[in-house]
Structure formats: structure tokens, C-alpha cells
Amino acid sequence: MLKQSYAISEELIEWRRDFHMHPEIGFELHRTAKIVAEELEKMGYRVRRGVGKTGVVAEIGEGGKVVAIRADMDALPILEENEYEYASQTPGAMHACGHDAHTAMALGAAWLLSQEKLPGRVRFLFQPCEETADEEGKSGAQRMAAEGAMEGVDFVIAQHVDPSQPVGTIGINGGPCSGGVDSWFGVITGKGGHGAHPDQTVDPFHLLAHVIIGLNGIVSRRLDPFQPAVVSIGTVHGGFTQNVIPDRVEISGTTRFTNQEVQMQIREEMGRAFNIARVMGGDYDLKFQYGGPPMINDQRVSRVIEETGREMLGADKVHEIGKTLGAEDFSVFLEMAPGAMFTLGVQKRGHEDFKLHHPKFDLDERALPVGTAILAETAKRFLAGEQ
Ligand code: NI
């Protein structure tokens, strides 16, 4: 499979560069989705367009098991600082998370699998809006799942580029490897007044200071130390001018966790921290918006990917994935079928310091056939029932 994958290197690079030059953001992936759908149709896939707004679902094969391969297609609202000829032509949009490569490699895997006699079905999930969510707080995976993209799927796999690892390597392991997300929005109210007469006010900044200390004590003082979690503040807004104490301040942030019990415990403890405002004579309002579940790789599926990687690339080329409480909405699909995401080493010389989401992020295109081959070979093994 690796050899066949190298044979289409040029096509993989061409696709990737085309997507890179024309990045699209969020659910507005009209050009990208159109190209993807047309390529898949040419390869003989049954294609459904507009799944979850601009998602594309494509299937090939008959009967048997269904293995799904997911690729996210969206770019980021970043002004690219690279200057090569295939740099972004859309100011303020850039494929700085490698989703251009994910899309190209999934197309490559689709082509390789279209050349095989499959003992089952392969379904491709080309997904919009992994990076953000729509006005209702739903990401691309949530939208596609709600429209039946995962119906009947037995296994689901995906990959993400990793610029910290060399080309020719992959990372994989079972269990939790990214965080579940809650966004939260708080308002602390007191009583406004003149800055010269704080005694006649209930200063919401003073209340806020105590609430923040309470929030920052949750992970260190209230949670099981063996449970990874984060409570972070992202915004604090309040006040109009230097000599007026306002009547309210607004605060928002994000929390991360790897299981629902901890998520609920954090919510409860945050309520307690905010309640300090009440104890001190003010009041508060606190709302949560669920952002998505933690990503939990299935042990069995992870093992198949690991074995495929060892055989294809060499035993020393497969390492344990770096865990993160960053969010990855592939987790939504993993709640619906056993599956796993692996990472693909794409480190490029001269770009080692530019991580994902950096305006100078770039990847080594020699990794494209590797990721393509692992996707296709793993899918084949699932259909053959080798797991
Ligand atoms: Ni990404």
C-alpha cells in the first residue's frame, strides 16, 4: 500500500497545495467541498453533498462492515506569513492546522481503496468546521453526525498532522488523548458608585478578585490529582472610566476534562467559587455551553493502527501520542463507534519552531504518502476482519 501511495505523491501534493492556496473557514467550505465531491465521484464513489452544511459523505463497496475515514477540511482565520508560491491567496485565512493535508491524504486513500476489491464498505467523512462552531455552538462533526453521517459505521479512523515529529513516523495510543470542553460565561454584579466612596458601593472588581482565586483553586485543591483538567479564564470586561466603580463585570473562559464526572464536578465547584460574590454582598450569573466530549481512542482500533504502522514504517517509527487537553471534535464520532485518531509526523526543516496554528506553520509534503497509506491499509484490515 505504501508503494502505491508513493506512486500518487504528485497528485497528493497538487491537491494539498490547491487547498492550501484557497483556504476556507468554518462551514463556508464551498470550493473545497465541491472539489472533494467531484474527485470522489470520478473515483466511483456514491457521494452525498451538503451533509452538516458543507460536509461530503462518500461511500464505496457493498455489504459487509462499514469503516469510516474522517478528514477535516477547514482553515483558520490567520494571515499566512509564508512566502512560497502556494501560500494562501486569501488574506486572513490559512491552513495552519494541516487540514489541507488531511483532505488531500483522505482523497489519496479514497483513490487507493477504489482500486481494491473490498470485502465491505468504506465511507469517507469530509468534515467542515472542526476549529470552531456555528451560532448554536455546534461543530462540523456534530452537524454531520446529526444528519446521519455515522449511521451503520462499525469503525472510524482519522489522523492529525504533528509538526513535532519527523516524517515517516506516526503516534497512536488507546484511551483519552484530548480534552472535553465547556465554555463558560459569568457576570458578577455589585452596586456601582463614585470611586471616591467605595464604602457606598459593592465593588464588583473586589468580588471578582476573590472569585478568581476560587476558580484557580479548583484544579489544585478540589479535583482528584490523577484526573487531568483545566479551568482557564479568557476574558474579563468591566468599567467605563477611572473614577467610577461599575455595577458589574463580565468574565468568561474554558474548562477541559477527560470524563463527564470531572466535567460535572468542575461545574459544581465553579458555582461555589462564584457564590463568593453572593457571600460578599453581590450576586452572580454563570452559564455553561458544552463544547464537545473528550477524545477517547478505542484500545482495539488503536492496536490495529499501531501494528499497521510498525509493519509499514518500522517498529521504531511508531510512538506514543502526545496527550493534550486541546479539543478535537473527532471525539463526537468516537462516541458513536469504536475508532481512533493517530498523529502523522510532518516536521519540516526550518519550520520546527512553528507549531500548529502559527502563521508560519508548514509541513513536509513527503509525509503525505505515509498518512495516505496508513489510512487505506488500516481501513482494509478492518474490512478483512483482522482486528
Ligand atoms: Ni487541526
Q: 16 CA to middle of ligand 1, Å?
A: 15
Q: 326 CA to middle of ligand 1, Å?
A: 10
CATH 3.30.110.40 describes domain 2-177+294-383:
no
**241 Cβ neighbours under 8 A, 6+ residues apart:** none
Q: 206 CA to middle of ligand 1, Å?
A: 39
Q: 282 CA to middle of ligand 1, Å?
A: 41
Q: 212 CA to middle of ligand 1, Å?
A: 31
Q: 127 CA to middle of ligand 1, Å?
A: 12
DSSP 208: H
Q: 355 CA to middle of ligand 1, Å?
A: 11
Q: 91 CA to middle of ligand 1, Å?
A: 20
Give the separation between CA 223 and CA 157, rounded to whole angstroms: 32
Q: 99 CA to middle of ligand 1, Å?
A: 6
Residue 99's alpha-carbon distances to 138, 139, 162, 362, in angstroms, are: 19, 15, 11, 11
Asked if 344 contacts 162 with a C-beta cutoff of 8 angstroms, the reply is: yes
CA count, 13 A, side-chain hemisphere, 74? 21
Give the separation between CA 261 and CA 283, rounded to whole angstroms: 27
Q: 328 CA to middle of ligand 1, Å?
A: 7
CATH 3.30.70.360 describes domain 180-292:
yes
- Residue 386's pLDDT is 55
Q: 98 CA to middle of ligand 1, Å?
A: 6
Asked if 278 contacts 190 with a C-beta cutoff of 8 angstroms, the reply is: no
Q: 97 CA to middle of ligand 1, Å?
A: 5
Q: 35 CA to middle of ligand 1, Å?
A: 20
Q: 308 CA to middle of ligand 1, Å?
A: 23
Q: 104 CA to middle of ligand 1, Å?
A: 14
Q: 274 CA to middle of ligand 1, Å?
A: 33
Asked if 32 contacts 24 with a C-beta cutoff of 8 angstroms, the reply is: yes
Q: 292 CA to middle of ligand 1, Å?
A: 15
Kindly tell me the sign of the dihedral angle through the C-alpha atoms of 88, 366, 326, 342: positive
Q: 130 CA to middle of ligand 1, Å?
A: 7
- Residue 192's pLDDT is 97
For the chain, first and last CA: distance in Å?
Answer: 18
Look at residue 339 and give its three-state secondary structure: strand
Q: 79 CA to middle of ligand 1, Å?
A: 17
Query: Comparing C-alpha atoms, which of 360, 305, 298, 370 is closest to residue 330?
Result: 298
Q: 131 CA to middle of ligand 1, Å?
A: 7
Q: 116 CA to middle of ligand 1, Å?
A: 29
**Surrounding residues of ion ligand 1, Cβ less than 5 A:** 97
Residue 255's alpha-carbon distances to 129, 219, 251, 351, in angstroms, are: 20, 10, 13, 31
For the chain, helix, strand, coil in percent to 5 are 35, 25, 40
- Residue 323's pLDDT is 84
Q: 60 CA to middle of ligand 1, Å?
A: 26
Q: Domain-by-domain residue ranges, the chain? A: 2-177+294-383, 180-292
The residue ranges of the chain whose pLDDT is under 70 are 386-387
Q: 8 CA to middle of ligand 1, Å?
A: 24
Q: 258 CA to middle of ligand 1, Å?
A: 19
Q: 110 CA to middle of ligand 1, Å?
A: 20
Q: 356 CA to middle of ligand 1, Å?
A: 8
